[in-house]
Structure 1
Amino acid sequence: MDRLPLLSATAATLARDVLAAVIDTPSTRLHTARLGGTIVSALTLVIYTIPTGLRARIEDVVVDQAARGHGIGRDLTNVALAIAKNHGARMVDLTSTRRGPPRTSSTNQRFGFAPRESTTYRLTL
């Protein structure tokens, strides 16, 4: 997955052991799309239970620049939403970075995602 640098300036190409750990984590699902045998898009769906119910998150949505505009990211997102719903998730959160293409926000809103009035804090360990 040499597309990860599109997500973060500090992201590196995904090492095999890290990829294996993602795949082996029961609550995490990595979905990919291929064109001509090459992975051109991926997203991570995380389904987890907290005291208020089952939740899902879509993270790390990335589409290769050459493959954008063909609905590949939309199709992967639809698959993830269907899986989350099938598992009984009441809501799905989607993270989006400011590094994405300008139309990312409007695309997310077309799915029905709305910005939350909350602040996410991060502590780097």
Structure 2
Amino acid sequence: MTDITRLIVATPEATQDIAALVAQLSSDAPAPSQADLAAILASPTNDMLIAQSEGVIIGMTTLVTIRTATGSRCFIDDVVVLDSHRGQGLGEALIQAAIRLARDHGAKKIDLTSRPSREAANRLYRRLGFVLRDTNAYRLVLTT
């Protein structure tokens, strides 16, 4: 049985499981350390949702809540399910849990991004009611 819950504590096991998911999600993103994960979990703007089976984290997403002068909105980021567990509805369960949590936070909008090459993910987002926006997405990479 798979449970969808909020990750509360950055244990060594959780850190290891999250590192495996991050490696699958991005080839150039470094895995978070246990201290990094603890900081993510401690932030009042973040809710990390996990899919867990038999004590192992097999999927995750992070819901970020932003409060500005124009209102509250949320952003869903880092949606990933281990390859070995795909096709079981876990991505949908994670997104549905994030939507419920966003409503609980009083958000009026939820944004997310996805690479066009992630065809299955994009189909899922559209099926769940997300609409592709006609907008430009900009990024400034800050180097140290």
Q: 1:91 aligns with which of 85, 109, 133?
A: 109
Query: Which of 105, 108, 115 is residue 122 of structure 2 equivalent to?
Result: 105
1:41 partner letter: G
Q: Which amino acid aligns with 1:119?
A: N
The unaligned stretches of length 5 or more in structure 1 are: none
Task: Provide the residue aligned with 1:116 in structure 2.
Answer: 133
The count of residues paired between Structure 1 and Structure 2 equals: 124
Q: Distance in 1 between matches of 2:22 and 2:114?
A: 13
* TM-score normalised by structure 1 residue count: 0.93
Cα distance change on mapping 1:7 and 1:99 into 2, 3 Å:
farther
Name the aligned partner's letter for residue 52 of structure 1.
T
Query: What is the Cα deviation at residue 34 of structure 1?
Result: 0.9
- The TM-score, its normalising length taken from structure 2, stands at 0.81
- AA aligned opposite 2:69: P
List aligned pairs for 1:9-20, cutoff 5 A.
Answer: 9-20=27-38
The 4+ residue runs of structure 1 with deviation greater than 3 A are: none
**C-alpha contact (below 8 Å) 2:47/2:64 kept by paired residues:** yes
Amino acid at match of 1:71: G
Q: Give the CA RMSD over aligned residues.
A: 1.2
Contact map agreement 2:50 2:59 (CA 8 A) in 1: yes
- Residues 42/6 of structure 1: CA separation in 2 closer, same or farther (3 Å cut): same
Output one character per residue of 1:25-63: Cα deviation in whole Å (capped at 9) or x when no partner. Answer: 000011111112111000000011112110000000010
Q: Which runs of 5+ in 2 are unaligned?
A: 1-17
**Higher helix proportion:** 2
Q: Secondary structure at the match of 1:117?
A: coil
CA contact (8 A) 1:7 1:97 kept: no
Partners of 1:33 and 1:26 in 2: how far apart? 21
* Aligned-pair CA distance for 1:3: 1.1
Pick the aligned partner of 1:47 from 59, 65, 69: 65
One of 38, 44, 62 as aligned partner of 1:26: 44
